[in-house]
Amino acid sequence: MTTPDKDKQPRLLQYLDYRAYLADYCEWRRQADPGFSQRVFAKEADLPASSSSLLPAVLKGRRNLSQNLRVKFSRALKLAERDANYFDVLVQFNQAKGMSEKNFFFTQLSKFRTSRAHVLNETQFEFFSKWYYSAIRNFFSMETGQRNPVVIASRLFPEVTPEQVEDAIRLLLSLELIKKTANGYAVTEKHISTPKDVQARAAREHMLELTRMSQELLDKTPAALRQYNALMFTVSSQGFDTVKERIRSFLEELREILDRDQNEDRIYSLTLQLFPNSKLPDPATSPVRKAATGTKGRGISG
């Protein structure tokens, strides 16, 4: 058995996907020790021999790690206390189901000062400052064999310049949101989670930019290639909360659809706006509202 080279060991704090870290860790161990196996890992994690199939199931995303398993995996990975704490939060971040939950754990990850999350947290404002940064990152998620700025610029809509593409590539590489491939670039993470404090600054400006763009592109985009809807309605406070929850659920479902999608060949932006067109009633002076009759809401599509 060869002693693993510590200099080549994957640095946990540089990862935002614990499954990717586990895969790289196992590859590092195998290179140093051909005898390393799933059974060896299970033994080091103090798991029964019958659990040797757990590691590949986790790597493939078929199994998640419970709190007990997170402790056992940390022991097998021989993580120091600080790294073990990061691993514990990282697993919860990756396994979180809702964006509010993901944002919470991302904020915890960003508190590790040398972590990838900390760097991304500090620089996300710049990433969200231009719409085409995100568009070009998405371009590389479907097209990994292209690195010519002129060609990439010609594929984006609205138009951008090759210089803007080069600027975006430099930023995305510095943030490690893309990596170089043999012929082009590829994304390093499937999703970007935005903590609440960044949402308040960066994501707000990003949303405004996309909203302005949607107005400009309404007349420039053929109807077959877009979907615009608007609905004005009356609603109670309880109904309003239900509407917001349904929108959140829809976005989660949409993310799952996009995660399963294959052979992507285009980039789209989706913006949803829900805003009031009346002032909130004063509970002290507002009379009890009678049941309304007629049309509940009026909507348009185009």
**Three state DSSP letters for the chain:** CCCCCHHHCCCHHHCCCHHHHHHHHHHHHHHHCCCCCHHHHHHHCCCCHHHCCHHHHHHCCCCCCCHHHHHHHHHHCCCCHHHHHHHHHHHHHHHCCCHHHHHHHHHHHHCCCCCHHHHHHHHHHHHCCCHHHHHHHHHHHHCCCCCCHHHHHHHCCCCCCHHHHHHHHHHHHHCCCEEECCCCEEECCCCCCCCHHHHHHHHHHHHHHHHHHHHHHCCCCCHHHCCCEEEEECCCHHHHHHHHHHHHHHHHHHHHHHHHCCCCCCCCCCCCCCCCCCCCCCCCCCCCCCCCCCCCEEEEEC
- Any idea which residue has 């196996």 for tokens? 37
Is residue 140 within 8 A of residue 184, CB to CB? The reply is: yes
In a domain, 166, yes or no: no
83 is a domain residue: yes
Both tokens assigned to 206: 């990003």
Please determine, for residue 195, whether its predicted confidence score (pLDDT) is greater than 70: no
* Band of residue 59 on the pLDDT scale cut at 50, 70, 90: very high
Domains held by the chain: number: 1
Q: Above 90 in pLDDT, residue 129?
A: no
Q: Is residue 92's pLDDT more than 70?
A: yes
Question: What are the beta bridge partners of residue 230?
Answer: 300
> What CATH number does residue 40 fall under?
1.10.260
Summary mean pLDDT of the chain: 84
The dihedral built from the CA positions of residue 12, 17, 22 and 25, taken in this order, carries a sign that is negative
More confident residue, 209 or 84: 84
Instruction: Decide if 238 is inside a domain.
Output: no
Q: Which domain holds residue 49?
A: 6-95
- Tell me the one-letter amino acid at 170: R
Picking from 93-102, 121-130, 279-288, which range would have the lowest pLDDT averaged per residue?
279-288
Is 49 among the domain residues? Answer: yes
Q: What is the pLDDT of residue 293?
A: 44
Give the chain's largest Cα–Cα span.
81
- Please give the pLDDT value at position 13: 92
* pLDDT above 70 coverage of the chain, percent: 83
pTM of the model: 0.50
Q: Is residue 204 part of a domain?
A: no
Q: Contact, 136 vs 165, CB < 8 A?
A: yes
- pLDDT bin (cut points 50, 70, 90) of residue 190 is low
Alpha carbons 129 and 131: distance in angstroms, whole number: 7
140 Cβ contact list (under 8 Å, min separation 6): 172, 178, 184, 185, 186, 187
Residue 284 has pLDDT above 70, yes or no: no
Token readout for 22 is 């586990």
Residue 59 located in a structural domain? yes
The residue-averaged pLDDT of 93-101 equals 82
Q: Is residue 203 part of a domain?
A: no
> What residues are paired with 29 via a beta bridge?
none
For the ranges 30-44, 193-207, 222-236, which has the lowest average pLDDT?
193-207
Residues present in the chain in total: 302
In a domain, 53, yes or no: yes
Please give the average per-residue pLDDT across 120-140, as a whole number. Answer: 80
